[in-house]
Structure 1
Amino acid sequence: MAEAYPWQHALWQQLAGRSQHAHAYLLHGPAGIGKRALAERLMYLLLCQQPQGLEACGHCKSCSLLAAGSHPDNYVLEPEEADKAIKVDQVRDLVSFVVQTAQMGGRKVVLIEPVESMNINAANALLKSLEEPSGDTVLLLVSHQPSRLLPTIKSRCVQQACPLPSEAMSVAWLAQALPECTEEERVELLTLAVGSPLAAVSLQAQGVREQRAQVVDGVKKLLKGQQSPTQLAEGWKDIPLLLLFDWFCDWSNLVLRYQLTEDESGLGLADMRKVLQYLAQKSRQSSVLAMQDWVLLQRQKVLSKANLNRVLLLEALLVQWASLTGQG
């Protein structure tokens, strides 16, 4: 069964303790906080034949079939390939499952994650099942970006926000999840993960601290004229594009904040503080705002899986970054 995270205790009591369940739930919140695990835990409970209080028993026929991935009344819908869209044909297969009678005589439970990866045709195909699911069917929708969902999808679900855990709770959990890291490293990873503890573990596994050090070093060399945008763009080929745009988006925000407040404590992680302070002092506010708008626009293209020329996009990013001080 899915892990029960300590920061989900109150939320679980609220969800699992309902005397009557809605036909559709939308579990939404930042990525990396355990929404999928929460949905799977609820899925087990809803299908369990001998629940123990607010938990699935873990050993009945239903729980055993779920654990084996062969429960006939359970359907999991996700992209066929990582970071790709959920297609309309996949949703049509799901709709066919929803209209069938439950084979084990109880509920049918559907889990869709991430629901925002459905294209417009797929989302529209799901609407009738959301509005009038046949029999005792419960749909669990998991979303990291609910703003991207159709209003008609959201309005047909009980919306359940899944908030970030507190920093103290996340750091305490990371001490067990990442015992090989120092406390300082765990705090840094949590900061890079924007407070999401599971995302911090994932970032550690992909070597994010080493990637960050490479990018920070490159940015410093760019501003000193020691490396060109082309050299850096080609050298960063193994670093996820979204991660790069997240960092540059964050840095442009911090530069702007410092221009407005001159508060050195608001300059983010120590590795870029001096650079950001320098850029804030040497750049026009209008230039930083224009840079910020451009970075946000390109980040949205990356998020929407647009067909982008990676090297040219990074070159354009770095040329604009250098031009903040009049070097571009």
Structure 2
Amino acid sequence: MAELYPWQAEVWQQLTSRTQHAHAYLLHGPQGIGKRALAERFMAFLLCQHPVAGQPCGQCKACHLLAAGTHPDNFVLEPEEADKAIRVDQVRQLVDFVVQTAQLGGRKVLLLEPAEAMNLNAANALLKSLEEPSGNTVMLLISHLPSRLLPTIKSRCVQQTCPLPSQAQSLAWLDEALPDVTAPIRSDLLALAAGSPLSAQRLHAQGVLEQRALVVEGVKKLIKRQQGASQLADAWNSVPLLLVFDWFCDWAQLMLRYQLTNDEQGLGASDMAKVVQYLAGKTPQPKLLVMQDWLLAQRQKVLGKANLNRALLLEALLVQWAALVERS
């Protein structure tokens, strides 16, 4: 059974204390905070035949079937391949399941993640089931980016915010999850994961710190005119494009914040803090704002799986970044 993370206690109480459950919930919040585990445990609670003290009992027939992956009254829908869209024919399978009678005589529970992965046709196909659910059915939608969902989808769900844990909670959890990693590295991982502890653990497993070091070293050489944009674009071939744009968007935001506050404690991760401070002092704010707008627009294209020429996009990014510092 999925574990309940320490920072989810209040949300769990809100979900399980309801006297009557909604036909659809939208669990939304930052990626990497355990929304999937929360949804799976809530699914177990909703299907459990004898819940105890607001928790699934783990002993009844429904709990045993769910643990074995053979419960006939639950349905999980997710992209067939990582980072791909949820297609309309997949949602039609879900709709067919909704109209069936629960085989164990209780609820049917469906879990869909991530909801924003549905293409337009798939989202429209889901709407009728959200409007007129069949029988005792509960749908659990998980979203990392609720702003990308159709308003009609969101309006038909009880929206449950899943908050980011505090830094202290995240670091305490990472201390147990990554006992062989030093405290400074755990802090750096958490900063790179925007405060999401599960994402920090995943980034560590993916070797992101090594990829980050490669990019940071390249940026420093670019600023010093020691390496060109095309060379760096080739050298970064193994670094996911979204990660590159996440980091550059973050650096641009940190530069703007420093220009407004002069707060040296808010310069981000230590590997780029001095560079961020230097660039913030050398870059005219109007030029930085234009750069930030461009970065956000390109990141949105990357998120939307647009057909992009990676090499040309990275070269354009690096040429513009090198031009931030005005030369006298």
TM-score, with length taken from structure 1: 0.97
1:5 matched to which residue of 2? Answer: 5
1:17 matched to which residue of 2? Answer: 17
Alignment of 1:167-178 (within 5 A): 167-178=167-178
Task: After superposition, give the CA deviation of every residue in 1:162-182 in whole Å (9 maximum; x if it has no partner).
Answer: 000111111111110010111
Query: SS state of the match for residue 271, structure 1?
Result: coil
Task: After superposition, give the CA deviation of every residue in 1:77-107 in whole Å (9 maximum; x if it has no partner).
Answer: 1011100110011111110110011111111
Query: SS state of the match for residue 83, structure 2?
Result: coil
2:299 matched to which residue of 1? Answer: 299
Amino acid in structure 2 at the alignment position of 1:300: Q
Alignment of 1:202-213 (within 5 A): 202-213=202-213
Aligned-partner Cα distance in 2 for 1:326–1:231: 22
Aligned-partner Cα distance in 1 for 2:159–2:273: 39
Aligned-partner Cα distance in 2 for 1:18–1:97: 25
Aligned-partner Cα distance in 1 for 2:168–2:266: 20
Aligned-partner Cα distance in 2 for 1:44–1:68: 12
Aligned-partner Cα distance in 2 for 1:20–1:258: 49
Query: SS state of the match for residue 90, structure 1?
Result: helix
* Structure 2: segments with no counterpart, 5+ residues: none
2:113 matched to which residue of 1? Answer: 113
Query: SS state of the match for residue 316, structure 2?
Result: helix
Task: After superposition, give the CA deviation of every residue in 1:176-218 in whole Å (9 maximum; x if it has no partner).
Answer: 0010111111111111111111111011111111111111111
Kindly report the root-mean-square deviation, in angstroms, between the aligned alpha carbons of the 2 structures. 1.1
Aligned-partner Cα distance in 1 for 2:283–2:10: 47
Aligned-partner Cα distance in 2 for 1:58–1:262: 54
Deviation at 1:326, TM superposition (A): 4.2
Amino acid in structure 2 at the alignment position of 1:117: A
1:190 matched to which residue of 2? Answer: 190
1:243 matched to which residue of 2? Answer: 243
Deviates more, 1:156-165 or 1:56-65: 56-65
Aligned-partner Cα distance in 1 for 2:168–2:274: 28
Matched, 1:234 2:223: no
Query: SS state of the match for residue 160, structure 1?
Result: strand
1:72 matched to which residue of 2? Answer: 72
Amino acid in structure 1 at the alignment position of 2:135: G
Alignment of 1:91-170 (within 5 A): 91-170=91-170
Deviation at 1:110, TM superposition (A): 0.3
Aligned-partner Cα distance in 1 for 2:296–2:98: 39
Deviation at 1:115, TM superposition (A): 0.4
Amino acid in structure 1 at the alignment position of 2:166: S
1:218 matched to which residue of 2? Answer: 218
Task: After superposition, give the CA deviation of every residue in 1:194-244 in whole Å (9 maximum; x if it has no partner).
Answer: 111111101111111111111111100111111111111111111111111
Aligned-partner Cα distance in 1 for 2:143–2:248: 25
2:309 matched to which residue of 1? Answer: 309
Deviation at 1:281, TM superposition (A): 2.1
Deviation at 1:255, TM superposition (A): 1.5
1:259 matched to which residue of 2? Answer: 259
1:41 matched to which residue of 2? Answer: 41
Aligned-partner Cα distance in 1 for 2:81–2:301: 19
Aligned-partner Cα distance in 2 for 1:168–1:266: 18
Aligned-partner Cα distance in 1 for 2:10–2:325: 50
